[in-house]
Amino acid sequence: MRVVLAEDLYLLRDGLVRLLQAHGFEIVAAVESGPELLKALLDARPDVAVVDVRLPPTFTDEGLQAALAARRSIPGLPVLVLSQHVEQLYARELLADGSGGVGYLLKDRVFNAGQFVDAVRRVASGGTAMDPDVIARLLASNAGNEPLGRLSPREREVLELMAEGRSNAAIAQRLFLSESAVSKHTANIFAKLDLAASDDDNRRVLAVLAYLNGTRG
């Protein structure tokens, strides 16, 4: 699996390169600035991009904007962004086109090698990997939303895990439930939120995230 990595801190960049290589990834480019990132993505067309949101020269959202620009030229290019803090705007921009192959993790998650590598693989395969803290912030910003108030505590737990990109099997394992019980909960969630049900895990996740982002069409 071919990866383009963008991170301006040398030690972290080198550490991520070594971590990903140890798990069988091929690093085709490891860059430190927004312009370098955009060029590397357009030239190499990797299986996935792992991108720090803030890169030189501006240290604002240079990395995210370079990744989004590349994604416009290469539709569906899988992008996993890393951020020091939760920024809802970043999540909204990343999810704006309504397609999969996207992820948003806080940098703290990088130190959990298994969780990080799982997220990279999930995004590369066209799935979605959203940080639990990002989901919590989106839920909090929708706290006054009446449909969300219809959900039971267990349904909210399932919703949070669904929004992270977890499959029914993974949710069942995490909550010590049967898969059939999780299926019933997800069906109830979609009904209460007035969302169209889907058996496709990724479409389901994207529908929930669009709902939480307030970007439903």
> How far, in whole angstroms, is CA 142 from its chain's centroid?
19
Q: What is the model's pLDDT at position 215?
A: 55
Tell me how far apart the alpha carbons of residues 203 and 103 are, in angstroms, rounded to a whole number: 14
Tell me how far apart the alpha carbons of residues 49 and 35 are, in angstroms, rounded to a whole number: 14
SS3 206: helix
What is the value of pTM for the model shown? Answer: 0.85
> Which residue(s) pair with 3 in the sheet?
27, 48
Residue 195 neighbours by CB under 8 Å, 6+ apart: 189, 207, 208, 211
Q: What is the pLDDT along the chain (217 residues), one digit of tens a residue?
A: 999 999 999 999 999 999 999 999 999 999 999 999 999 999 999 999 999 999 999 998 999 999 999 999 999 999 999 998 888 778 778 877 777 789 999 998 888 999 899 999 999 998 888 888 888 888 887 777 778 888 999 999 998 998 888 888 999 999 999 999 999 999 999 888 888 877 777 777 877 877 777 655 4
**Delimiting residues of CATH 1.10.10.10 domain(s) in the chain:** 146-215
Superfamily per CATH, domain 2-140: Response regulator (3.40.50.2300)
Tell me how far apart the alpha carbons of residues 109 and 128 are, in angstroms, rounded to a whole number: 15
Q: What is the model's pLDDT at position 147?
A: 82
Q: What is the DSSP letter of 30?
A: E
**Delimiting residues of CATH 3.40.50.2300 domain(s) in the chain:** 2-140
Tokens of 13: 């960049």
Is 146-215 assigned to CATH 1.10.10.10?
yes
Q: What is the model's pLDDT at position 217?
A: 46
Tell me how far apart the alpha carbons of residues 94 and 71 are, in angstroms, rounded to a whole number: 10
